[in-house]
Each structure stands twice: as C-alpha cells, then as structure tokens.
C-alpha cells in the first residue's frame, strides 16, 4: 500500500476537496485501472463453467486424453488469471480507499482544528478521535468492501443470470425468481441489522469517550481514591457495548445461517430441474454441471452482500457523522474586510460594555464590562473562582466574540481584525501549559520551522532562565519532551510557555497565573520573567496571588461577571473603603 503522503506536496496548486465523496473520489487513471480490474475479476470466473461443460461433454463423448488435458490446462489458466484479477482488484481498491480516507482524515482534522472553542467545548477529545479516526476507518473499510464485494458481486450476479438465461431460459427464469426472492429477503433483513449495528457503534463511541476521559484524569482519580467507582462505570459501559455487539453479531450470524439454508434449497431446486431436463433430453450432462456451477456462483456475492450490510450501516452512520462535522461552521465570522493589528509596539485595549454568555440561550457570564488600557499599561484581574476572569481573557484572545459590546485592541474591533495578526500580536500563557511529544525546538515554535533559528531559540531560553536547563539536556534543542511533559517540572513548563510568547513578540499579553504552588525559587524566576515580558507591552494578568499585583497599573475586581471595582492600583490600595485595600489588609493580617 502506498505510504501516507503529506497534502501540501500532493495537492499543491489543486483545489482541496471539501465533501466526503470529493475526498474519496479516485483520479481518472486510478479509476480506469480499477474498472478494468473489476471487469476482469468478473468475466474470468464467468467463463470457467463453460470450460467445465466442454470437459464433461467431451469426456462423455469419448474425447482423447490429450484433448481433455488441454481443456483442463485452459481451465487452470483461467482460474489463475481470475484469481490474479481479484488480487489486483483488492490491491487497487484498498489503495484507493486508503488514499481517499487519508485525504478525508486530513480534511477533517484541518476542519476541526479551524473550528472555534464553542464547538470544541461541546466535544470530548475521545469523541473527536472516534470521528476523525474511527468513522474514517469504517468508511475506508467499507469502500474497499464495497468495491470488492458489492460492485464485483453484483456484476458477477448479473453475469451469471445473463449466461444461465442464455443457456437455458427455464432454469434462468427459476434462478432469476430465486435471486429476486433472496434479494427481497435481504432488504427486509437489513431493517433488522441496521439499528443493531448503529447501537453497537454508538455504545463503542461512548466507551471510547469514557476511557479517554478517565485516562486524562487518572491523577485526580487516584488521588481521590475514585478508582473502584471508575472501574465500575467502565464495567457498565463495556457491558452495554458487549450486549449491543452481541445482539448485532447474533443478527448477523442468523442472517448468514438463513441464507445458507436458502441456498442449499436453491441448489437442490436447480439440480432437480437440470436432472429433469436431462431426462427429457433437452440438456447435456455438461450443461447440467455448468448450471450447477453457476448456481453455486450466485451464493458468494449474496453472502458477501449480507456480510457487508452491517459494515455498510457502520459506514453510512460514519459518513453521516463526518458530513455533520464538515458542515460545522465557525461561529466567529471572518471579517469581510480584515485589517491587521498594528505590527509593532504595545497595543491599547478597550472593553466597551462587554457582555457574554457561553450558550445562545444561557445565562450571561459577563455583563457591562468596561476596561481601558493605554498601550504599555497592565491590568490585574482579581476575583473569586467562577467570577469570569478567564472568560474575559478568552474574549481578549478572540476565542469567543462578545454577545454585547466590543473588544478593541490597537483601536480595532477584534471582529474586524485579521485573525492571523490577532494570533501574532496577542500572546497568552495559561495555567495549564500544553507540551507536546516533540523536540524542545518544536515545542517552542509549535512546529513552525521558519519562526526562529536555533540561536534565537537558545537566546530566548536563556532569557527566561532556562539556559542551564537546556545545557543539561542530552540533545539540546533536539531533546524530545514526553507527551505528558515527563522530565519537565511545572515551573519549567511555565517558563517554556513564556519562551513561546517571547518568540512571537506580541504587543498585548494575557497571563493566567498558575494557581498551583511553585517553590519560592521558581516563583521568583517566573516573576522576573513576567516583569521582563510585561516591559514595553500591554498586559492583562489574572492574578491568583496578590503579590503579583504589585507590578500592575490598574486593578479590576470581578464578581458574578461584573467589574465591581476598577481603578489605578495605587489609588485603590490607599482607599480604605476599596475592596482591593480590604483584600490587601486580609493578606497582611494572615501574615
């Protein structure tokens, strides 16, 4: 099978397909090769019984051994050629299917990555894996099976009927009626198989989602001793899958057994008819054998078709889900006339009467938020958990659009700003730093090789205080970091995240301070880096430690989605009636 190829090279200069069918459609040459192979794989086996007939009739007629051996060799050659055609068809079909599904998988991954947080907030990673991988694999398997078993099978069936009708119209008519009956029975059977296959697939997706979620939270589960409960839940979910799968299998094998009996009856019928025709002298023994062989040939396509019913259902459900995913549109509209944010220097920030709700008909999480920061100024956001600080940060990063008011950066409403310049000019460091199973270099540049050369990367790592850490790594920038950030402490991970932001040199930075405790030395290192990062940049700091607020110009106290206090830090600190002063004095008392 051809190895997976990157789309950038293959599709360079071409329009990328956007629909499921568009992705799966083969190129004209590959399509023609497949049609030729399928035709050969159908016609060659159809010719085989003709040779058997000749052999039998000639043998009964007293033909010589040489002649019979010649006919036998012809039969053998035809069988070998038929098998070769079938192997070629299988190879071409799987190659085309995997080529197509690779295109589909890439398209889906690209599409899903381009969707907004509103979409991703509603989906678990397990569900997305099942969609982008599980469904696509089901579609690929079906495409192979469809080409091999359904298309080739139906062609063979039609060929057999045409030949038998030509050889003996009476037997042909019986065979045709018989096939129609079996086809009708199968269509009815499909109604049974379809829902059970869909249920089994849904149970599997639920189990995959459950496992993924539990594995992601393994630390919390262990720490809280929830292991037994988790195993019990998984037991229940796999029990549901087992029952759904078992039922689906039972229906499948019941159908297979039913057709076996029907075919045995059909064969007996045709043999009986052939014997009767032979007695009445209208049929040679060879033709009887030929009819018997053709009847046997009808069986395989039908059995394969039945076998495909369940797969067909899974694939159809997969196609529907993949279509739904491709039909998902960004909820953040692209600006009609995108304007870039100022390319250099600190960016001013203004939140103008901003209101926001996560769901269309949900409770507002933010309302009436007004904030103004001049370029280079810093704002500290404080407030209880759940008050809306992270949501404000998300709006500033344009992960969501406000439902009321506007977020302006550098004088530009973010809805009118060029999204690429928003990503470039607004930087963020969140509490949960995501490190990838890749080299230090890729973790810093986030897989953008042209972003900075190695010297610049070393310089930045030294700047954030990771110079010694880098020197201690076995392969320097090439050292692979574990996917779970194994070998990287929480503090180092935070510093790596700062290094990422330094690389793009944004004009506005949003820092969601790590609430977990770091050792005092690391905390001091991080604070020094924060100072350096905020120098000459506009900053919004979600502060979990009041000490961090010493560096900000303005303070906003958030409560229940509103700013209940806003002002210059020094003024609020000396105003005994302010909440900020009360917070400060509480910390003093605690000390």
Footprint of ligand ATP on this chain (CB under 6 A)? 121, 358, 365, 383, 385-391
Rg of the Cα trace of the chain? 35
Q: Which residue matches tokens 């299988």?
A: 90
Q: How far is the CB of 356 from ligand ATP (least distance, A)?
A: 9
Residue closer to ligand ATP by CB (options 159, 560) is 560
Strand partners, 349: 373, 409
Structure-block tokens of residue 338: 């995108």
In the complex with ligand ATP, which residue's Cβ is closer, 313 or 391? 391
Q: Based on CB atoms, which residue is closest to ligand ATP, 92 or 365?
A: 365
User: SS3 for 56?
Assistant: helix
Smallest separation (angstroms) from ligand ATP to the CB of 393: 8
Cβ–Cβ contacts within 10 Å for residue 15, how many?
Answer: 7
Provide the minimum distance between the beta carbon of 383 and ligand ATP in the complex, in angstroms, as a whole number. 5
Closest CB 122 distance from ligand ATP, rounded Å: 9
Give the H or E element holding residue 350: strand 349-356
Three-state secondary structure call for residue 115: coil
Question: Nearer Cβ to ligand ATP, position 112 or 269?
Answer: 112
CA-nearest of 528, 526, 549, 525 to 539 is 549
Residue 181 CB, shortest distance to ligand ATP, in Å, is 56
For residues 159 and 368, which CB has a smaller minimum distance to ligand ATP in the complex?
Answer: 368
CA 315 – CA 137 distance, rounded (Å): 9
Kindly state the smallest distance separating residue 425's Cβ from ligand ATP, in Å: 23
Q: Cβ(539)–Cβ(533) under 8 Å?
A: yes
Token duo for residue 209: 């989602």
Q: Which residue is nearest to ligand ATP (CB)?
A: 390
Angle between helices 65-114 and 28-60 (to 10 degrees): 160
Cα distance between residue 473 and residue 460, in whole Å: 16
Q: Which is nearer to ligand ATP, 228 or 363 (CB)?
A: 363
**Closest to ligand ATP by CB, 122 or 582:** 122
Task: Map tokens 């039945």 to a residue.
Answer: 306
Stated as kind and residue range, the H or E segment containing 128 is: helix 125-129
Extract the tokens encoding 496: 């790596």
- Contact assessment for residue 309 and residue 195, using Cβ atoms and an 8 Å cutoff: no
- In the complex with ligand ATP, the residue whose CB is nearer, 363 or 455, is 363
CB of 358 to ligand ATP, least distance (A): 3
Q: How far is the C-alpha of 541 from the C-alpha of 530, rounded, in Å?
A: 10
To the nearest whole angstrom, how small is the minimum distance from the Cβ of residue 387 to ligand ATP?
Answer: 4
């Amino acid at each position: 099978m051809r190895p997976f190829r990157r789309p950038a090279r293959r599709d360079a200069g071409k329009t990328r397909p956007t629909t499921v069918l568009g992705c799966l459609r083969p190129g004209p040459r590959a399509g023609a090769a497949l049609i030729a192979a399928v035709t050969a794989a159908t016609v060659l086996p159809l010719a085989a019984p003709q040779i058997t007939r000749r052999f039998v009739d000639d043998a009964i007629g007293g033909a010589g051994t040489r002649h019979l051996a010649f006919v036998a060799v012809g039969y053998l050659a035809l069988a070998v050629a038929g098998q070769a055609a079938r192997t070629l068809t299988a190879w071409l079909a799987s190659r085309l299917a995997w080529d197509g599904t690779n295109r589909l998988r890439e398209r889906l991954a690209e599409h899903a990555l381009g969707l907004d947080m509103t979409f991703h907030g509603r989906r678990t990673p397990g569900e997305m894996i099942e969609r982008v991988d599980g469904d696509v694999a089901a579609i690929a398997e079906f495409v192979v099976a469809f080409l091999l078993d359904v298309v080739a099978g139906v062609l063979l069936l039609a060929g057999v009927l045409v030949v038998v009708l030509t050889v003996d119209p009476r037997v042909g008519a019986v065979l045709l009626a018989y096939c129609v009956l079996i086809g009708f029975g199968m269509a009815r059977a499909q109604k049974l198989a379809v829902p059970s296959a869909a249920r089994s697939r849904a149970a599997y997706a639920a189990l995959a989602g459950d496992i993924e979620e539990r594995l992601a939270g393994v630390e919390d589960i262990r720490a809280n001793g929830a292991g037994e409960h988790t195993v019990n839940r998984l037991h229940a979910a796999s029990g549901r899958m087992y029952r759904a799968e078992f039922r689906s299998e039972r229906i499948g094998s019941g159908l297979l057994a039913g057709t076996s009996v029907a075919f045995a009856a059909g064969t007996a019928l045709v043999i009986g008819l052939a014997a009767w025709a032979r007695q009445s002298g209208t049929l040679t023994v060879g033709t009887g054998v030929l009819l018997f062989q053709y009847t046997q040939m009808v069986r395989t396509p039908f059995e394969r078709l039945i076998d495909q019913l369940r797969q067909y259902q899974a694939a159809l459900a997969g196609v529907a889900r993949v279509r739904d995913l491709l039909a998902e549109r960004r909820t953040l509209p692209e600006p009609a006339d995108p304007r870039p944010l100022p390319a250099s220097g600190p960016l001013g920030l203004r939140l103008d009467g901003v209101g926001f709700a996560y769901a269309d008909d949900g409770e507002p999480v933010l309302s009436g938020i007004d904030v103004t920061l001049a370029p280079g100024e810093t704002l500290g956001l404080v407030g209880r958990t759940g008050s809306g600080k992270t949501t404000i940060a998300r709006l500033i990063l344009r992960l969501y659009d406000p439902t009321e008011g506007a977020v302006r950066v550098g004088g530009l409403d973010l809805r009118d700003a060029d999204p690429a310049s928003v990503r470039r000019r607004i930087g963020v460091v969140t509490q949960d730093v995501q490190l990838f199973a890749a080299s230090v270099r890729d973790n810093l540049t986030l897989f953008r090789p042209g972003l900075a050369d190695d010297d610049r990367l070393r310089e930045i790592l030294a700047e954030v205080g990771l110079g010694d850490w880098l020197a201690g790594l076995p392969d320097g920038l090439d050292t692979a970091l574990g996917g779970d950030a194994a070998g990287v402490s929480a503090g180092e991970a935070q510093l790596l995240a700062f290094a990422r932001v330094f690389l793009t040199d944004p004009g506005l930075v949003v820092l969601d301070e790590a609430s977990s405790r770091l050792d005092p030395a690391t905390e001091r290192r991080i604070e020094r880096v924060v100072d350096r990062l905020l120098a000459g940049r506009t900053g919004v700091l979600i502060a979990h430690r009041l000490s961090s607020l010493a560096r900000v110009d303005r303070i906003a106290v958030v409560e229940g989605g509103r700013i209940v206090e806003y002002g210059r830090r020094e003024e609020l600190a000396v105003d005994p009636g302010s909440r900020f002063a009360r917070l400060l004095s509480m910390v003093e008392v605690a000390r």
